[in-house]
Structure 1
Amino acid sequence: MSEELDHKKELAKLKRLAVEIASEIHDIVEDTVWTNHVKMPELAKKLYDAVEKANQYKAEHSL
C-alpha cells in the first residue's frame, strides 16, 4: 500500500510541474504576449514534455 501511495505522490508532483508551466504560459498570454511571445515555443515544449512524462509514469504504474 505504501508503494502505491508513493507512486500517487510522484504522479501528483509530475502533474503539478506541468500545471506550473501551463500557468506561466497563461500569464504570458494574458499579460505580456506582445513582449514575451518569444518564450512560447520553449515553454510549449516544456509543457509537452512534462505532460508526456506524467502520462508515461501514470501508465507504467497503472494509476
Structure 2
Amino acid sequence: MTDEELKNLEKEVRKLKRKSQEWASQLHDLVEDRLPAGYEELPTMSQSAYDACKAWADANARLMAATETAS
C-alpha cells in the first residue's frame, strides 16, 4: 500500500468513526429524551448506528492490517 493510499484509509477511518459517534449520540438522545414515546424510532436508528459502527470496524481492521504490513 502506498503512502497516499494509507493516508486515504486513515482519513476514511476517522470519517467513519465520526459518523458512528454521531449515530451513538442520536441514539443516546432518543433514549434520554424521547423514550418510551419514541420507541418506534429504535429499530431504524439502532440499525443505522450498527451499520456505521460496522463500517468503522471494517475500515479500522483494514488500516491495522495495512500498518502491520508496512512495519
TM-score by length of 1: 0.83
Measured in 1, the distance between the counterparts of 2:13 and 2:63 equals 9
Measured in 2, the distance between the counterparts of 1:25 and 1:44 equals 7
The alpha carbon displacement at 1:11 in A equals 0.4
In the alignment, structure 1 segments of 5+ residues that lack a partner are none
In the alignment, structure 2 segments of 5+ residues that lack a partner are none
Larger of the two Rg values belongs to structure: 2
User: Which contiguous aligned blocks of 4+ residues in structure 1 show a shift greater than 6 angstroms?
Assistant: none
The number of aligned residues is 63
RMSD: 1.5
Aligned counterpart, 2:15: 13
TM-score by length of 2: 0.75
Aligned counterpart, 2:48: 46
